[in-house]
């Protein structure tokens, strides 16, 4: 096990997780649990995941999967109705990615833009969500995306470069490629199909770009 700070992010697709075992493996120092999606999907495992992480000493965080076909303000209020931050939590993460069809194919136009949503409209929607959530929690959310989504769907906007970046990149290598508005990343999702003790199913695996002390400093005091 390296000195790198490892973590996992998960949803209802990873039920019945033993977080004590996951933490002891060294691959789940921190964990982000999916809370909500759009304006009507609450993850059945969310509340129990947050409770179990806190009990096991896994540094906890929560995230919302953004639906670009639904109202941004309603999504923000919905997320806040489900997630109440507690002392020791990491900043919430906003998951920005293409939704998929029944065959698992991304729902996007040929040029990578979102159906019925221009890049400027996507940027405005994300800004609305963040405005509500960040006013409520008093700190900036983490933004999750892959490089191509940010360039194509978000128009490579530089309006959020002050937010911590969680980059999804599975190509290997010493570091991921990131969109130009950022100069570095905070989290890196390097695998979407990892095997971690304590999880009964494959799980997303992540690195934190810093020391454990620096990760601790991100927690709500």
Q: Which of 70, 121, 116, 127 is nearest to 94 (CA)?
A: 127
Query: pLDDT for 74-129, tens place per residue?
Result: 999 999 999 999 999 999 999 999 888 777 788 899 999 999 999 999 999 999 99
Full-model pTM = 0.95
- The torsion of the CA quartet 188, 193, 196, 202, rounded to 10 degrees, works out to 130
Structure tokens given for 90: 């990491």
Query: pLDDT for 7-23, tens place per residue?
Result: 999 998 988 899 999 99
Q: Could you tell me the domains of the chain?
A: 5-217 (3.20.20.80)
Judged against a pLDDT cut of 60, whether residue 54 lies above it is answered with yes
Query: pLDDT for 146-189, tens place per residue?
Result: 999 999 999 999 999 999 999 999 977 788 999 999 999 999 99
């Amino acid at each position: 096990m390296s000195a790198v700070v490892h973590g996992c992010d998960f949803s209802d697709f990873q039920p019945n997780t033993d977080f004590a075992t996951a933490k002891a493996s060294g691959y789940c120092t921190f964990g982000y649990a999916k809370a909500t999606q759009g304006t009507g999907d609450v993850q059945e495992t969310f509340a129990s995941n947050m409770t179990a992480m806190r009990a096991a000493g896994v540094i906890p965080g929560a995230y919302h999967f953004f639906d670009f076909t639904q109202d941004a303000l309603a999504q923000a209020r919905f997320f806040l109705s489900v997630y109440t931050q507690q002392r020791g939590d990491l900043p919430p993460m906003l998951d920005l990615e293409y939704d998929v069809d029944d065959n698992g194919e991304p729902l996007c136009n040929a040029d990578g833009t979102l159906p019925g949503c221009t890049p400027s409209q996507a940027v405005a929607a994300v800004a609305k969500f963040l405005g509500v959530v960040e006013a409520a929690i008093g700190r900036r959310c983490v933004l999750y995306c892959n490089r191509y989504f940010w360039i194509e769907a978000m128009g490579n906007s530089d309006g959020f470069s002050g937010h911590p970046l969680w980059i999804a990149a599975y190509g290997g290598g010493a570091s991921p490629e990131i969109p130009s508005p950022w100069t570095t990343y905070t989290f890196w999702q390097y695998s979407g199909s990892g095997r971690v003790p304590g999880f009964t199913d494959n799980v997303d695996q992540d690195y934190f770009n810093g020391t454990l002390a620096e990760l601790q400093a991100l927690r709500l005091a």
